[in-house]
Amino acid sequence: MKKNLFLLGLLVCSMVTVAQTESADKPESWYFKLGGSYFIQTAATEFPTVGGRAALDKTYVGGKLVSEESVTGSFGEGFRTGITAGYRFNARIGVELGVNYYSSKDKTMAQTASDVPYIPASGQNPAVYNFKSIGQITAFDFAPSIVMFLGEAHGFEPYTKVGVLVPVHGDLEITTDAYAPVGVNPSTGAPIMADVHSVDKVKPNPTVGFLAALGTSYKLGKHISAFAELEYRNFTVHGKTKETTEFIVNGNDALASRTTAQIHTNYQDRLDINSNNATTNPNGVDSTKPTDELSSYVGISGLGLTLGLKYSL
């Protein structure tokens, strides 16, 4: 009897000891992170056509082209803020779901500089005038990922993670300022030049990107930690539609003077004789319908540093 009681007591003590050890070693189940990031672009590609103008930087003197170069870049450079919820299955493996807002740095997509405007009377050559188109991307995205924790030492706990980026809302806004022809003087036949300011918003098709990160957290208290992550991400965005939301001539709103074809664009994978496009359709453009243009894409690849706070339950 005494032997049995001793064994029972030893078993209870062992169970209590194991429970205390497991409780001490058990990682938090849920945690939340709030952080801010700055990304730099890691790959530059040629920008798509902007309003029928190729992604080129041109300079004219006396109506003659004196220099020309491709305009390349990526919208992967910019600021991001986000909140992340994470769950640890055990000491090594966990999952995270981030919700982020991203705002890219402004990028010049096309421009022409000319000392004098050149408007050919015959219409056989393109008009030459000053303009500059600048693009910026803003977007909300979801970022589910798998996390591998590498062990804690001296308050630091490094980890790695891989996942995907799923943009859920956003657009590419292209702002163009130009000194351009807006009509013809009926008396002299000379072009009427004006200061034109326009804003186009390009809506994207659904897409999925890739992310990979290496980070570490550092305990500041029982529930609070600071964290830092070095993250690489890469995805491309294909245009779906484009809409002109602002068209201002010499300071006056002139959007109502634009036709449907001038305001709205549908991006297509292929253009043919049935497309509403002046280049391929022998009947020209139907001004009452959106214009069809070839689908294009922009890259959003970047390497970023994220700093923030982590709260563990």
- Residue 4 pLDDT: 43
Q: Euclidean distance between the first and final Cα of the chain, in Å?
A: 45
The domain limits of the chain are: 28-312
pLDDT in tens, 124-135: 566 778 899 999
Q: Is the pLDDT of residue 7 over 50?
A: no
CB 85 within 8 A of CB 35: no
Q: Is the pLDDT of residue 12 over 70?
A: no
Q: Which of 249, 155, 237 is nearest to 198 (CA)?
A: 249
Q: Which of 100, 196, 214 is nearest to 160 (CA)?
A: 214
Question: pTM, whole model, 2 decimals?
Answer: 0.83
- Residue 14 pLDDT: 40
Domain 28-312 part of CATH 2.40.160.20? yes
Q: Is the pLDDT of residue 3 over 70?
A: no
Which residues are CB-neighbours of 117 under 8 A, at least 6 positions away?
A: 127, 128, 129, 130, 179, 181, 191, 193
Which residues are CB-neighbours of 154 under 8 A, at least 6 positions away?
A: none
CB 176 within 8 A of CB 133: yes
CA–CA–CA angle 185, 189, 193 (5° rounding) = 50
Alpha-carbon dihedral sign for residues 272, 278, 284, 290: positive
Residue 116: exposure state from Cβ atoms within 10 A (0-12, 13-18, ≥19): exposed
Q: Is the pLDDT of residue 270 over 60?
A: yes
Going by pLDDT thresholds of 50, 70 and 90, the confidence category of residue 121 is low
- Residue 209 pLDDT: 94
Q: Where are the beta strands (DSSP E) in 185-286?
A: 191-204, 209-219, 224-249, 252-253, 264-268
pLDDT in tens, 32-89: 999 999 999 988 888 888 777 888 999 998 878 899 999 988 899 999 999 999 999 9
pLDDT in tens, 82-94: 999 999 999 999 9
Q: Is the pLDDT of residue 183 over 80?
A: no
Which residues are CB-neighbours of 8 under 8 A, at least 6 positions away?
A: none
Q: What is the mean pLDDT of residues 213-232?
A: 96
CA 132 to mean position of chain CA atoms: 21
Most confident of 25-29, 44-48, 225-229: 225-229
DSSP H helices, 212-275, are 260-263
CA dihedral 25→29→32→38, nearest 10 degrees, is 60
Task: For residues 216 and 207, give the distance between their C-alpha atoms in angstroms, rounded to a whole number.
Answer: 29
Return the residue matching tokens 């209870």.
12
Q: Which of 203, 190, 183 is nearest to 257 (CA)?
A: 183
9 conformational bin, left if phi > 0, alpha if psi -120 to 50, beta if neither? alpha
Q: Which of 308, 313, 302 is nearest to 98 (CA)?
A: 308
- Residue 187 pLDDT: 81
Other CB atoms within a 10 A radius of the CB of residue 177 amount to 16
Task: For residues 288 and 173, give the distance between their C-alpha atoms in angstroms, rounded to a whole number.
Answer: 24
